[in-house]
Amino acid sequence: MTASLSNDAIARLLERHGRLLVVAGESAFRARAFERAAESVRLYPEPLARLAERGELTSIPGVGEGIAYAISQILATGAFPAHEELTRRIPESVVELTAIPGVGAKTALKLYSTLGIDSLDALESALEAGEIARTMALSARMAETVRAGLAAIRRRTGRTPLGAARPVAEAFLAAFSRARPQDRIALAGSARRWEVTIGDLDFVIASDDIDDTVAALAEIPMLEGQARSGAGEVTGQLPGGIRADITITSPAAWGSALARATGSAAHLERLGGIPDGLASEEAVYVTFGLPWIPPELRAGGQEFARWREIPELVTIDAINGEFHAHTTWSDGGASIVDMARAAASRGYTLLGITDHSQSLGVAGGLNSERLAAQRLEIDAADMTAGVKLLAGAEVEVHRDGTLDYDDETLAALDVVVASLHTGLRQPREELMARLERVLRNPHVDIIAHPSGRLIERREGGDFDWDRAFAIAAETGTALEINADPARLDLDPTLAERASAAGCLITVNCDAHSTSGFAVMEYGVAMARKAWLKPEQILNCWPRERILEWLAARGRSSS
């Protein structure tokens, strides 16, 4: 009995199985079920071994009879039969190949079946040896994608994307609060500051009895490998292999400890040393003649000059709608009506439905006939739950800067969001010529995720940003802060430069389901880091003003 297997270890195996199912070309539904189960197992507060003893594994969200059986096998033997069988066909390491941007299940399987390539290392050797080109196992363009993607992976920082770290932090905060309701706990460090990637997670706990709190921490299953380094310092590993640094302090020193652990180092340096023994962060800042500075602004720069503007910065309540959302018409998971209701429940008054355009086949892009059919459904659902729906599209930008729909089709849309999903590795001149053509296209209202970066997966394109922002300011094209934590694009530094150049910004979730709107908090945090105010953000404007803006851009029926 390997009852010591942690939930995280079980989750990793379920996740690997899900990914291997995809590579093997098995049912996507089944693969998704394993990945979903892995997500909820990873952050489940109680050890699964205990649930298994009580026969309650199926009480975990996303765990049905089949996966419960797999988990009980994992607990008993460290593996499960379906996985062992699958790995006899395809080595687990083939999954590594799909980590390369642009490499999907089909390509990975092809590389394995034709050349026996079963890992990133094997792929790198094959590229170097010219084997890929010689055997023409991949098209020349695909081989180039693979080469660039592999290089990007090798340049990764090894830091954890914020979007992966925050859910882990929240699960730990909840688990600790359940175990020690009498203590106070807060997230600190870079995750509290909404940095795009984090090195480790920091927490501060206020306790009247440090030893009792340390003992309680030892009982929290998701914190593995705990070690006590100082009187009030505990470290450990959280799910996903994220290191946790926990500082335990007395309630009387809470403010000093939290401010110190939150940083940033540059911010603390500018402050010049936090006084000991202050009970609140407000009390800390008062000693410097400052108001409380929100963590996302503690960068060590502008917060010391511009703190009077802080109350004017955008907040999540100021977001009045969004312009970039998908439905089951392309690769979304919810209907138009369900997306409208979800938008309404967030207090939105406006939602742009922007499914993918035709050339994005993998995402079920719409041709102009299907787009026209979708418009009928959007019009019928307009004002559902009080939300004004815009019939829009996320339109692919071709490699030459032309758009994926003809002018007539574009002119009929209520809002046009243009995206460069491919060809981001073009040299700067080509890329800029392409972007300029899009910005100057009178049909284009918004540029989605302008740089195209995927955090820790793919670098953005090599744009000349000053020039791009100058053109966008001239044409009045809005630039997106995509709130999807995999993107966060424009990033805060670029968003600030864009806004300073006179560009209009829009913050969108790029929601692919009704729960997709939840990532707006990431987008707003990025906008705040860029010191943006509601006036500078299109979707903070009142609905009437937004519709006037669209009308002035020549949009038809809005």
The minimum distance between CB 522 and Zn ion, in angstroms, equals 15
d(CA 532, CA 529): 8
510 forms part of the interface with Zn ion (CB under 5 A): yes
Beta bridge partners of 394: 356, 417
Q: 416 burial class (0-12, 13-18, 19+ CB within 10 angstroms)?
A: buried
d(CA 232, CA 235): 10
DSSP string covering 56-86: -GGGSTT--HHHHHHHHHHHHHSS-HHHHHH
Other beta carbons within 10 Å of 289: 7
CB-wise, 138 or 169, nearer to Ca ion? Answer: 169
The helix-helix angle for 428-439 and 465-475 (nearest 10°) equals 10
d(CA 548, CA 542): 10
* Residues contributing to the site for Ca ion (CB under 5 A): 189-190, 200, 202, 245
Going by C-alpha positions, the residue among 1, 10, 36 that lies closest to residue 221 is 10
The minimum distance between CB 490 and ligand DGT, in angstroms, equals 21
The minimum distance between CB 538 and ligand DGT, in angstroms, equals 31
Collapsing DSSP states into helix, strand and coil, what is residue 1? coil
CB-wise, 160 or 419, nearer to ligand DGT? Answer: 160
Residues 195-234 that bind Zn ion (CB under 5 A): none
CB-wise, 67 or 198, nearer to ligand DGT? Answer: 198
Identify what 269 binds: ligand DGT, Zn ion, Ca ion, none; CB under 5 to 8 Å per kind.
ligand DGT
The minimum distance between CB 519 and Ca ion, in angstroms, equals 22
Cβ atoms of 63 and 72 closer than 8 Å: no
d(CA 403, CA 340): 27
Q: Binding residue for ligand DGT (CB under 6 A) from 98, 107, 145, 190?
A: 190
The minimum distance between CB 196 and ligand DGT, in angstroms, equals 10
CB-wise, 47 or 263, nearer to ligand DGT? Answer: 263
The minimum distance between CB 276 and ligand DGT, in angstroms, equals 14
What order of strands is seen across the sheet that includes strand 388-396?
Answer: 321-322, 350-356, 388-396, 415-419, 446-447, 478-482, 505-508
The minimum distance between CB 266 and ligand DGT, in angstroms, equals 8
Q: Between β-strands 505-508 and 446-447, what pairing exists: parallel, antiparallel or unpaired?
A: unpaired
Using the structure block, give the residue that is written with the tokens 């720069």.
301
The minimum distance between CB 16 and Ca ion, in angstroms, equals 27
d(CA 73, CA 54): 15
Cβ atoms of 99 and 29 closer than 8 Å: no
Task: Fill in the per-residue mask, 268 to 297: x = in contact with ligand DGT (CB under 6 A), - = not in contact.
Answer: xx----------------------------
Identify what 394 binds: Ca ion, ligand DGT, Zn ion, none; CB under 5 to 8 Å per kind.
Zn ion
Per the structure block, which two tokens stand in for 7?
């939930």
Q: Which residue is nearest to Ca ion (CB)?
A: 189
DSSP string covering 192-240: HTT-SEESSEEEEEE-S-HHHHHHHHHT-TTSEEEEEEETTEEEEEEGG
Instruction: Choose the binding region for Zn ion from 111-119, 307-315, 362-370, 390-398 (rule: CB under 5 A).
Output: 390-398
Per the structure block, which two tokens stand in for 456?
């820790």
The minimum distance between CB 84 and ligand DGT, in angstroms, equals 38
Instruction: Choose the binding region for ligand DGT from 129-137, 190-198, 324-332, 530-538 (rule: CB under 6 A).
Output: 190-198
414 forms part of the interface with Zn ion (CB under 5 A): no
137 forms part of the interface with ligand DGT (CB under 6 A): no
Residues 230-269 that bind ligand DGT (CB under 6 A): 245, 260-261, 263-265, 268-269
480 forms part of the interface with Zn ion (CB under 5 A): no
CB-wise, 96 or 510, nearer to Zn ion? Answer: 510
Identify what 231 binds: ligand DGT, Ca ion, Zn ion, none; CB under 5 to 8 Å per kind.
none
The minimum distance between CB 194 and ligand DGT, in angstroms, equals 11
d(CA 249, CA 207): 6
Q: Binding residue for Zn ion (CB under 5 A) from 303, 394, 404, 459?
A: 394
d(CA 419, CA 104): 20
CB-wise, 288 or 549, nearer to ligand DGT? Answer: 288
d(CA 326, CA 333): 8
Q: Binding residue for ligand DGT (CB under 6 A) from 18, 101, 149, 189?
A: 189
The minimum distance between CB 290 and ligand DGT, in angstroms, equals 17
Identify what 491 binds: ligand DGT, Zn ion, Ca ion, none; CB under 5 to 8 Å per kind.
none
Identify what 265 binds: ligand DGT, Ca ion, Zn ion, none; CB under 5 to 8 Å per kind.
ligand DGT
CB-wise, 95 or 395, nearer to Zn ion? Answer: 395
CB-wise, 96 or 245, nearer to Ca ion? Answer: 245
One-letter amino acid at 356 equals H
Interface residues toward ligand DGT, by CB under 6 A: 189-190, 195, 198-200, 202, 245, 260-261, 263-265, 268-269
